[in-house]
A and B are shown apart, each in its own frame.
Chain A
Amino acid sequence: MSEHDHKPAPMVDEVSDFEILEMAVRELAIEKGLFSAEDHRIWTEYVHTLGPTPAARLVAKAWLDPEYKKLAVADGVAASKAVGVDWVNSPPTKFGTPSDYCNLRVLEDTPTLKHVVVCTLCSCYPRPILGQSPEWYRTPNYRRRLVRWPRQVLSEFGLQLPPEVQIRVADSNQKTRYMVLPVRPAGTEGWTEDQLTEIVTRDCLIGVAVPKPGVTSNIKLPVHKAVHPVQHGHDH
């Protein structure tokens, strides 16, 4: 077999009581109003992400420049160059096959169409432009349920969509990698490319969230600072 990328990584194919307990505790806390599903998602996203990705800048540029948006939708690989990502000439590995296929499709949302990305067969992800995939993206829970109950799964991420919005799930099963180009939110009129880039967080690019003014990947959450020595003191 020469296709490293095609061989599904082993995964834990059963639901444990601990997984259920984690979700149950979280959902009860949400039900009781201790926090919202969306707040929780933002917090989780923050834990993994350091600053905006090149894909976020691609989106900001597309919002500002209709010609660039056309290019992005028609040829994601060409459009990536403008944000410093060369899919073809700088693959992450130089051994065997290029470990990332070079066909990026940028899925454009509209006010009545919302895209969300999954890979049901393994966990294909547009790494060159979006970095490593989050843990939850690789779980059987997400991969199995998103294609079948997308609205249920999105609401677990705190995203409720009205019935008039069509959901389109993109299942990345072959050589195309997907990212979402969300709708530019109201309240961002006159913003610069840098400002817009900040609100296009990783989850918006996967499609489980939508950008909002004030919600950025550089948000200053209290988790980052003083908590460190205490939080990570569990290891023996």
Chain B
Amino acid sequence: MAKSDSKELGSESMGQEADVTTIPVLEEVRNHGKVWEELAAQYGVTNPDPPWKVTMDATCDILAADSNVVPHAQVVPGSCALPLLERRIEEDDLSTTIYADVPFPERQLLALAHSMIRHGLINEEELARQMEEVGRRLKSV
């Protein structure tokens, strides 16, 4: 419901579509990553959301800063790293195209990473490197 609201709002106020070409490092995650639905069923966990959802939401919010509350037209360009509305419109576009078959909230996460790369906040190489680093840390025994 709110999804179509923001979409309409977006096409009026923004007038541009997200770049929906695939990004190899994210394709790897989407093709090989196990989604929460599957993991929860496998381990008998009833929590509807993966534990990382809260931290991902915080990342989206903190990157959006003031644009969380200020109407989009009044957001000063450059005042936040990734304006709320831009990220949401891109997420909607990506959710109906390249990440259409990925369930929520995994597709929000892919879309967030996608937008951050397209907006030049991070690049593919460093994301791949950081993922390797984090994977090593989390899997260390």
Contacts and interface: CB of A to CB of B under 8 A. Distances in A.
Q: Do chains A and B touch in the complex (CB under 8 A)?
A: yes
Interface of A: 9-29, 32, 34-35, 39-40, 43-44, 47-48, 134-136, 138-139, 141, 145, 152, 221-223, 225-227, 229-236
A234 B108 contact: yes
A35 B2 contact: no
Chain A, interface SS category: helix
B122 interface: yes
Given A135-B54, A225-B68, 18 more contacts: A12-B40, A12-B45, A16-B39, A19-B52, A22-B55, A25-B113, A34-B63, A34-B81, A39-B62, A136-B55, A139-B51, A225-B69, A227-B64, A227-B68, A230-B2, A230-B84, A230-B85, A233-B2
Contacts of B68: 222-223, 225-227
A21 B60 CA distance: 14
Nearest to A39: B62
Interface of B: 1-3, 5-6, 26, 28-29, 32-36, 39-40, 42-45, 49-66, 68-69, 81, 84-85, 88, 104-106, 108-110, 112-113, 116, 121-122, 126-127, 130-131, 133-135, 137-139
Nearest to A41: B58
Q: Return the 7 tightest CB-CB contacts between A and B, nearest first.
A: A233-B2, A17-B33, A222-B68, A24-B130, A22-B52, A43-B58, A10-B44
Given A25-B59, A226-B68, A235-B104, A19 B138 contact: yes
Nearest to A232: B2
Nearest to A17: B33
A55 B47 CA distance: 26
Contact of B5 (A25, A225, A233): A233
A15 B5 contact: no
A201 B122 CA distance: 32
B55 A21 contact: no
Nearest to B128: A24
A15 B32 CA distance: 12
A233 B57 contact: no
A40 B39 contact: no
A9 B62 CA distance: 32
A141 to B, nearest CB: 6
